[in-house]
Homo-oligomer: A and B are copies of this chain.
Amino acid sequence: MEITLHSIGIIHSPFNEKDQTPIQSSRSQAIGLVELYLEFADGLNGIEDLSHIHLLYIFHESSGYALQVKPFLDDQEHGIFATRYPCRPNPIGLSTVRLVSRRDNFLTIEGVDVLDGTPLLDIKPYVPDFDHRTDVRVGWYETRSKK
């Protein structure tokens, strides 16, 4: 099955170079701005009451993909689906950021880890009752994911 998606906005960030961009939002204190296209602004109603949101977006600067990759945090190869590496068969990124404020169709966020100009696909509320798991094993990330 194929599906054509259209961006619903733009993520503005301080990062213009891949190698300056934080590898995860959890490691970033950078402030960014989510600009939703005006036609979608009403979809933000109530979002001010949330402290954290998931952003889904296109890795627009990644071209092509590999099934075995050396991720930023390791010097060993892993299957792409055991990593968060951007060069994926479907180049969709997921970041969880803190929502600082909303003004009309603009969201100020903290913890941005994407390139400036990243096309936004979706915003979802982060809800610990849904999103938090315990007793987790993380494989090769075990010694690599610590700050």
Contact = CB atoms under 8 A, between A and B. Distances in A.
Interface residues of A, number: 71
- Main SS at interface, chain A: mixed
As for how many copies of this chain the complex holds, the number is 2
Give the one of A56, A80, A121, A145 with max B CB within 10 A.
A80
Given A133-B128, A138-B127, A145-B129, A122 B92 contact: yes
Interface in A7-37: 7-8, 24-26, 36
Contacts of A106: none
Interface of A: 1-8, 24-26, 36, 40, 42-54, 56, 58, 60, 67-68, 77-84, 88-92, 94, 96, 98, 119, 121-133, 135-141, 145-147
